[in-house]
Structure 1
């Protein structure tokens, strides 16, 4: 029996437990430093000694807790079933500060933990947890299957089998964890293969240099002639990670390769042999072959995860590479039902968002791809995947919605808007808005587009005004707002005052104060670059002016996305001869980049002064000036905007683009105005 293999000490004999009252077992448990018998006074169950499959009443008294006198208290119950935690929502009914609910204990549950919450407040017994173990209904004096392990592992986070996010503390000592795992395996032999690795870890941590004989007995069991592949993989894991015995591990490897030629180790060897590099055809071919030779359904999940054999990544590689190589999405149809939720946002980014932002694939062709991914997300939202079992159904839905609100839903709404499906676009945009409010310029633009085409003037006006308040508008939205104002008043008189009245003055003042903190003074790097007309512009020619430099490239998506906001800033100072803007095209590799830049500026009707960065000697790309600037100011990446004062000193540097045209315009304008008024 495994207790003779995995135990340092025999479990308390069954006969003795049966003859003694339950309190003796609890007292024994307390002797190793736990506080299981001393349940918190504000949490209890009725009956106190329950069995799996039984209906119980959970009673919670919020007096003295963070939920004291709170309304609408709810709970999440974590049930430890077959050595895994499963969360469920629990509705409570309360009078005064006491909240109660009936709960049916699952038949395969050994222990539960409970979390109480109201709004954003959570009571988990001050990070100690509210736990209760259940008695085995068929074995007197013994806890139900999973009770011992759940109680030990839930409070031992370093073993990686606790409840994610439930309690946050260093955990009980290793000897306590060892005790509870030993009890579990002793009384429930079916757990030995599942828990053998954390048991071995706890054994080593508890007995240290004296753990050898105990671990050897474990290995003898795992390496027995009729051992399963799972047992041999566990033996290999213990040898390599705990004992650092590579020689014996190699001997186990030979046995596994002989007995399981398509097993986990062969799978790992094939995975490691897969090539890396930029040959997309070769990568696509080898990923497809791996899936054929080693299908996911036959994989040992724990072994694959530990060795970073990620089937979702392989499916994603095939879909993405296939889309680029074959110019279709056949692989998406083939594998989409295998893609877990954790991989869907990344997959959406790679096959929808990137080609959409770069205009590499038409919006018409991207829409059905986006719809398939959205449909998969919606399906998983209604059926929580097992990998997220630690989230309750309501927590799971919230997690999904938050994961797709900022990037995925606005892009999908845009594709629907482009297709003229405005009602559907509004539905998805509103899903995002329920979480983001009016804080995303990208989302606000899609909402405005849909509402405008649907003729909902009232909702559109509210949207436009609130977007201005949040400083999350686009030039098109500002044009809509102005048009609405003119239609109402008959002319544009007073529009500027109306627009300013909508702005969040407190937010503007805060932006100014934050920007002033970033101000510095350092001589700008000298340069001489040509503009669109071939005229050379030098830094010394700009003395006496406040200059805004915007470093960008034709291949840089956020660079070009920021241009509508930059145009607002350019237009604001169009009549000020002492403020000039230069858009410095840099880091270009193509031979005809100047023609591409000229066409892009003309097609988009940007009134920009463009400068072309120089190519350094023997360099493959332009960037001679920008590279010197990066070294001088310790910066990197584009878009980079540098504001230079009348004396040729750089005063501000801002990188990236946050997504709002009006926010960017205000940021640049504030910097310019601060520089103009500073000494």
Structure 2
């Protein structure tokens, strides 16, 4: 058993000092001792911190409320050098923490958490005593490895408090608020296990027995008790008896919901559909929306699986019946598995599913502000961030629907749904939706608006090859040319500031590393020897027939190839890796897609493993197997690497062009 070291007077003074906020913090709050249920005023000065000089600072707030973390937003307004805001603490809040970041985006480029010391404040009652949860939150926040602290708050260099410190905080919590112990069984269990090793079992057992003896034990508490018996005490008989008690006492509770929901997965056909209908009546999803809890994953899985079944079987009326019960996250996930998959992957005529696709969009328009991207992601996103994420998905899905409606010949629907989007954001999601919008405008005789839309697509770097060709034809039709060449005009459509931001991100991916020379068989016949590249800039695309994103990215690569078709000093090779050289399938793909001047090479097997054929790929991208991957070579060295495909052919073309030109302009 670990010995708990006696805490000295000096140590207690250190703890007491640390219990408040650091004096040299960049954040000041008023009152300095926050009170639960009251407003606190924030004044944040970014000077000397990572956000100094930033022009769009936002605040994120984390509160420990009834022994659970919640996440929220703080809107800040700039007054001189200071950013000010207010926040009303929940009535049961015991601890509050703040973090600031450069933008509201989900992955900001810069954050400030007080140099990994935290902007932390203990919360008091009106009478002056600390609130329930204050001591415990202080400890678990500073020991992230326990798994009960603020998710992703620290940057990785934080040094945790000692075992003695966390044990001290647990003792303070239990001595002051032992009556609330049933709310933090999980935390107590983790701390005791860390401190006492295997001897923690006796204490945990006594604690849960005491909880069981209290009146009106909740289902959540019984669930934790069962978990302790099953996982910690290895008492399956006792755990099973607690589970039976839960089902008897809470026949329509969380456990019953999970048990019955999982049972439906083993059923088939009509029996499965009938069981799902009964489940919807017994456990209305609307009740879960009012108080989301972890077992709610059953709803997400059931609605996704059953919705996909209805779609696959053409039971669109049944699907339309359940769509209104789904939240934004469920709708988007199911939409991607059904309608989007159909238009991108299947030969099914769009006319057969365009109506049900519109019903998806109608529901998304209603649910876009339901905050489901926050509560279904374990407080990963603030409400405002969740709203941004939901609107991004809605914008993308509307553009997918536009493509479907365009294929179905519903040109007015395409125009109407695309124009639900703000013009500044309309063209920034899905290039094929943009294409459908432009073609629909033309079909409706609105050629000037179609031309304007093409220009906006170019500005947003969201063009398909078809839009690119139409825009080039439009430029050719102009009597008074806005630039000497089409390429110059295209470049001028983007602001210099925007282009420089893109180039800055690309420079971060640039490298200067040697690569192993290679000789590969060409699909066209003969071989290609890397020693013959000389001073040429060589763009290599690693791809495979089984890789969907690889195939999708080839349109953008064709656009880049076309851009340099008259330039003999820029070469492109498409190395088929981790795949067999299936010549007939390659020929069929190239013919179907009208690919030209895109020479395919076959990667080789130097490991002796069957069908590995990834030697050149591994030599350039060690430690990964993901594709598509791009490598740009110059003077016998790898100068640029990138992974994946973001979905825009013209953006990929721009990426290749920007990197090639930056390499050319090197001194």
TM-score, structure 2 normalization: 0.68
1:114 equivalent in structure 2: 98
Cα deviation 1:353-380 (Å, max 9, x = unaligned):
1111024444345444444444444444
Per the normalisation by structure 1, the TM-score is 0.67
Distance 2:100 2:152 in 1: 14
User: Which deviates more from structure 2 when the two are superposed, residues 144-153 or residues 315-324?
Assistant: 144-153
**Correspondence for 2:236:** 249
Question: 2 CA distance for matches of 1:557 and 1:281?
Answer: 34
What is the DSSP-based 3-state SS (H/G/I as helix, E as strand, rest coil) of the residue aligned with 2:384?
A: helix
Q: Is the 8 A contact 2:556 2:652 kept in 1?
A: no
Matched, 1:177 2:177: no
**Partners of 2:31 and 2:629 in 1: CA distance:** 66
Match for residue 331 of structure 1 among 304, 319, 322? 319
- Would the aligned equivalents of 1:85 and 1:163 in 2 still touch at CA under 8 Å? yes
Verify: 1:194 aligned to 2:183, yes or no: yes
What's the counterpart of residue 606 of structure 2?
A: none
Whether 1:455 aligns to 2:448 is: yes
Structure 2 CA distance, aligned partners of 1:514 and 1:291?
A: 54
- Asked whether the equivalents of residues 40 and 130 of structure 1 are also in contact (C-alpha less than 8 Å), the reply is no
- What is the 5 A alignment of 1:274-313? 281=269, 288=276, 291=279, 295=283, 305=294, 310-313=298-301
Q: CA deviation at 1:318?
A: 0.9
SS in 1 for 2:478: helix
Determine the C-alpha separation between the residues in 1 that align with 2:73 and 2:352.
41
* Cα distance between partner residues in 1 of 2:643 and 2:99: 42
1:196 Cα deviation from its structure 2 partner: 0.9
- CA change 1:597–1:301 in 2 (3 A) is same
1:46 and 2:30 aligned: yes
Alpha carbons of structure 1 residues 29 and 323: separation in structure 2 relative to 1, 3 Å: farther
2:118 maps to which residue?
129
Report SS of the residue matched to 1:455.
helix
Of residues 109, 118, 130, the one that matches 1:143 is: 130
3-state DSSP of counterpart to 2:42: strand
Alignment match of 1:36 (pick from 19, 23, 29)? 19
Mapping 1:82-481, distance limit 5 Å:
82-92=66-76, 95-117=79-101, 119=103, 121-137=110-126, 140=127, 142-168=129-155, 169=158, 171-188=160-177, 191-224=180-213, 228-241=218-231, 243=232, 245-246=233-234, 248-257=235-244, 260-261=247-248, 281=269, 288=276, 291=279, 295=283, 305=294, 310-328=298-316, 330-331=318-319, 333-334=321-322, 336-339=324-327, 341=329, 343-385=330-372, 387=375, 391-402=381-392, 407-415=396-404, 417=406, 419-420=410-411, 421-428=414-421, 430=423, 432=425, 441-442=431-432, 445=435, 448-449=438-439, 453=446, 455-456=448-449, 459-460=452-453, 462-463=455-456, 466=459, 473-481=463-471
Distance 1:171 1:430 in 2: 49
Name structure 2 gaps, 5 residues minimum. 534-539, 603-609, 633-639, 661-667
Change (3 A) 1:77 1:38: closer
Structure 1 Cα separation of the partners of residues 281 and 124 of structure 2: 46
CA distance in 1, matches of 2:542, 2:45: 60
The whole-number CA distance in structure 2 between the counterparts of 1:412 and 1:337 is 21
Q: How much does 1:221 deviate?
A: 2.0
- Aligned pair in 2 of structure 1 residues 76, 519: CA closer, same or farther (>3 Å)? closer
Contact 2:95 2:134 in 1 (8 A): yes
Q: 1:257–1:265: 8 Å Cα contact kept in structure 2? A: no
SS of 2:35's partner is coil
Q: What is the deviation of 1:126? A: 1.8
Q: Which has the larger radius of gyration?
A: 1
Conserved? CA contact 1:92–1:100, under 8 Å: yes
Distance 1:274 1:268, change over 3 A: same
Query: How far did 1:253 drift?
Result: 1.1
Cα distance in 1 for residues equivalent to 2:422 and 2:40? 43
List per-residue Cα deviations over 1:154-201 (Å, max 9, x = no partner): 333234333334344354334433443444454445632221111121
SS at match of 2:99: strand
Instruction: Quote the Cα distance in structure 2 between the aligned partners of 1:550 and 1:564.
Output: 14
